[in-house]
Structure 1
Amino acid sequence: MGSSVIVDIEVTPGSRSISVPSGYNEWRKRIEVKLTKNPQKGKANEQLVECLAELFTISSSDIIINSGATSSKKSLLLKGVSYQQAVSVFGERLKK
């Protein structure tokens, strides 16, 4: 359970619907995410953390925004999630 992974994400806030993940940006090598919340007072970040916690069935306190808290490009540390798990979960969701 001591595993953790860093995930590079590109966020599009203020979308019509939530989509985690919504795609993969080949150029930027980032997983794309669409959120309905706007980036005011950390609302989009909160929504992102909640969605990822739900997706990986971990506590939102196990997700740390490593970098990019005020940027659309973020790196998040997911505690208790292995690299294999991350690839598997995102891969399954992106196939749909």
Structure 2
Amino acid sequence: MSFEEAIKDLGSGIIIDIEVTPGSRSVSVPSGYNEWRKRIEVKLTKNAQKGKANEQLVECLAELFGISSSDILINSGATNSKKSLLLKGVSYQQAISIFGARLKK
């Protein structure tokens, strides 16, 4: 299996397991997949101070999936590089096709 392991279907939305690298030179959502940690990798330009990287992550995912940032919740890992995010109103198939198109090499 590949990046699909990082996405869990809840019916009303999905949970995505993400690993964030803050303070990068450029934003890359997603930037890859860590098959050992089973997490989708994301690079952000904001540093992990006062929630700036979390804000940027939520904004980038909202834009990527075409949903409001209020429909995204950081389920766990708010102060950690390994996070689980709940995206409401996004289907498992949507997530697979959007991430799949961006993660194919």
TM-score (norm 1): 0.96
How far did 1:3 drift? 2.4
How far did 1:61 drift? 0.1
Structure 1 vs Structure 2 CA RMSD: 1.0
Greater relative contact order structure (CA < 8 Å, 6+ sep): 1
Structure 1 runs of 4+ aligned residues shifted over 3 Å read none
SS at match of 2:74: strand
Tell me, in whole angstroms, the C-alpha distance in 1 between the residues paired with 2:12 and 2:30: 21
For these two proteins, the number of residue pairs brought into alignment is: 95
Give 2:6's aligned residue. Answer: none
Q: 2:81 aligns with which of 72, 81, 95?
A: 72
Deviations 1:26-53 (A, max 9, x none): 0000000000000000000000000000
Alignment of 1:4-19 (within 5 A): 4-19=13-28
Q: 1:85 aligns with which of 77, 94, 101?
A: 94
Give 2:8's aligned residue. Answer: none
Give 1:37's aligned residue. Answer: 46
Amino acid across the alignment from 2:95: A
For structure 2, list consecutive stretches of 5 or more residues without a partner in the other structure. Answer: 1-10
Amino acid across the alignment from 1:13: P
Amino acid across the alignment from 1:28: R
Deviations 1:61-82 (A, max 9, x none): 0000000000000000000001
Tell me, in whole angstroms, the C-alpha distance in 2 between the residues paired with 1:95 and 1:81: 21
SS at match of 2:53: helix
Amino acid across the alignment from 1:4: G
For structure 1, list consecutive stretches of 5 or more residues without a partner in the other structure. Answer: none
Q: 1:61 aligns with which of 70, 73, 79?
A: 70
